[in-house]
Amino acid sequence: MKYIVRITSVMALAFLLGCNSQKNKGEHSHDGGETHSHSTKSFSNMTHYFGAYNLEDEEYGTKTKVTLTKDARVMVTNALPNHKTGEFPNPGNPNTISAQNNTYSFPLNPKYTGKATWAREPGIALNGIKFEPGTAEVVECDTGENYRVEALQDVIDLGLDFNHAHVQPTGAYHYHGTPTSVIEEFDAGEDLVHVGFAHDGFPMYYSKSGKFKPSYKAIDGNREGEDCTYENPHQSIDISVGGHHDGTFTSDFEYIAGSGDLDECNGITIDGGYMYLVTAEFPYISRCLMGEL
């Protein structure tokens, strides 16, 4: 076996998700398409990581331990992934993966507020690696425009690997998009793969079928800005920001309520329980949280 996982207690997902959540979405359609619903018959294979567990991987050095208290799910981790990664350093990312010393506490009984709160780091994967969809990279124009660069784009090489992840100067490996290897490692055979917990306590999933669609759309029209530059400690690049909104920058997208299945935080209520979806489309990972922090 590649790594050891010791499960010391299991909680039913229906119980964990049933409190303080939105009303279920029933039959509906998008843009006049086929009517469908998102009811899920069984979460039977998705409960293992709702209890206490200890994940150790000798090959990759992963050490992540989760315990439960009366009110919290506490994760202590060295934040080393339990899977293969790309080569680091690389031309777009000069940093080396190194062990961290992180402790996270998630509410055991999350409370849905319905009020979106921005979150730079919305949650943590089951293996202790953080989700951080946004970047610190900015293109600045002499005409005054600033554009925040998305991690998943083809204009600036940020050195992401096949897990849509790279490494911060601190040595912290982190996911900017769908965590490919996490999905493979934690796949329990259902469409929804449990991949982590958000900091408000609600779970994070990935749908293998991709049936849960975000409600963000590319903005019509063209960007403005002249004499634009991207700089980091290693280089300075002239960037042309003209043209249509193609997803290179965060501001290329706008939220249109009801245009997809998911809310502005990429969340949805299924069978009475609120959860966040990691998706292959923007925003990829939630940029905000709907639960009480």
**C-alpha span between 89 and 173 (Å, rounded):** 12
Buried b (16+ CB within 10 A) or exposed e, 249-285: bbebbebeeeebbbbbbbbbbbbebbbbbbbebbbbb
**C-alpha span between 145 and 163 (Å, rounded):** 31
Buried b (16+ CB within 10 A) or exposed e, 21-38: bbeeeeeeeeeeeeeeeb
Whether residue 212 is predicted with pLDDT greater than 90 in this model: the reply is yes
Q: What is the pLDDT, as a whole number, of residue 24? A: 42
C-alpha of 174 from chain center: 10
| For residues 16-37, average pLDDT | 48
Q: What is the pLDDT, as a whole number, of residue 158? A: 96
Mean pLDDT of the chain: 88
Instruction: Report helix, strand or coil for 13.
Output: helix
With bands split at pLDDT 50, 70 and 90, how would you rate the model's confidence at 287?
A: very high
Question: Is the bond preceding 94 in cis, omega lying within 30 degrees of 0?
Answer: no
CB 28 within 8 A of CB 35: yes
Q: What is the pLDDT, as a whole number, of residue 241? A: 95
CB 240 within 8 A of CB 251: no
**C-alpha span between 252 and 248 (Å, rounded):** 7
Position 65, amino acid:
K
CB 147 within 8 A of CB 139: yes
With bands split at pLDDT 50, 70 and 90, how would you rate the model's confidence at 41?
A: very low
Whether residue 86 is predicted with pLDDT greater than 90 in this model: the reply is yes
Instruction: Report helix, strand or coil for 75.
Output: strand
With bands split at pLDDT 50, 70 and 90, how would you rate the model's confidence at 48?
A: confident
Interval 159-174: pLDDT, tens? 999 999 999 999 999 9
Question: Is the bond preceding 133 in cis, omega lying within 30 degrees of 0?
Answer: no
> What's the start-to-end Cα distance of the chain, in Å?
37
With bands split at pLDDT 50, 70 and 90, how would you rate the model's confidence at 232?
A: confident
Whether residue 218 is predicted with pLDDT greater than 70 in this model: the reply is yes
Q: What is the pLDDT, as a whole number, of residue 35? A: 52
| 34 or 191, which is more confident | 191
With bands split at pLDDT 50, 70 and 90, how would you rate the model's confidence at 234?
A: confident
Predicted model pTM: 0.86
With bands split at pLDDT 50, 70 and 90, how would you rate the model's confidence at 43?
A: very low
Whether residue 40 is predicted with pLDDT greater than 50 in this model: the reply is no
| For residues 2-8, average pLDDT | 55
Whether residue 39 is predicted with pLDDT greater than 50 in this model: the reply is no
With bands split at pLDDT 50, 70 and 90, how would you rate the model's confidence at 128?
A: very high
